[in-house]
């Protein structure tokens, strides 16, 4: 199964000449292992969500019909639940960038705008609760 997943990995396929494709290369092995385990678990009927920071790895997971939980999702949840504030998220995000080049700079990412939008939505929701407005399900 791992070999099948690796052959479908878009980054591996793009970086290796057609005649030299080897499904046992070490490049992107982590993403391929995560996706392989997730596919096997999903085949057993389990609900699976994978956490992958690499965009090519996310594309691979989506190609296998898996839901992805990204670094941005984790940081957004941390803000929503009061674990981090926006400056704290920025600090964590900057430190995570040291471990790979898949995360854009803070300024180039969509995360700051996403966090502001989500905060605005939470404030709107809280105001509607205070006014006693009915909530949609």
For residue 54, the number of C-alpha atoms closer than 13 Å in the C-beta half-sphere is 18
Q: Is residue 129 exposed (0-12), middle (13-18) or buried (19+ Cβ within 10 Å)?
A: exposed
pLDDT at 16 over 50: no
pLDDT digits (tens, 9 = 90+) for 70-80: 888 999 999 99
Tens of pLDDT, residue by residue over 57-104, are: 888 888 889 999 888 899 999 999 999 999 999 999 999 888 866 778
Do 75 and 122 reside in the same domain of the chain?
Answer: yes
> pTM score, two decimals?
0.64
Work out the average pLDDT over 107-136.
88
Confidence at 53, pLDDT banded by 50, 70, 90: confident
Identify whether residues 8 and 42 lie together within a single domain.
yes
76 & 30 share domain: no
Please check whether residues 7 and 59 belong to one and the same domain: yes
pLDDT band at 54 (very low <50, low <70, confident <90, very high): confident
Please give the pLDDT value at position 91.
Answer: 96
Domain boundary among 38, 54, 69: 69
Enclosing domain of residue 22: 2-69
């Amino acid at each position: 199964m791992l070999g099948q997943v690796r052959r479908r990995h878009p980054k591996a396929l793009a970086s290796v000449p057609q005649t030299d494709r080897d499904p046992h290369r070490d490049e992107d092995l982590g993403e391929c292992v995560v996706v392989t385990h997730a596919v096997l678990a999903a085949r057993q009927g389990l609900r699976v969500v994978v956490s992958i920071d690499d965009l090519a790895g996310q594309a691979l997971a989506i190609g296998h019909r898996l839901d992805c939980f990204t670094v941005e999702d984790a940081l957004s949840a941390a803000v929503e639940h009061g674990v981090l504030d926006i400056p704290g998220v920025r600090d964590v995000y900057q430190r995570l960038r040291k471990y790979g080049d898949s995360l854009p700079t803070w300024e180039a990412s969509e995360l700051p705008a996403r966090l502001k939008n989500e905060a605005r939505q939470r404030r709107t929701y809280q105001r509607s609760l205070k006014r006693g407005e009915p909530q949609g399900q």
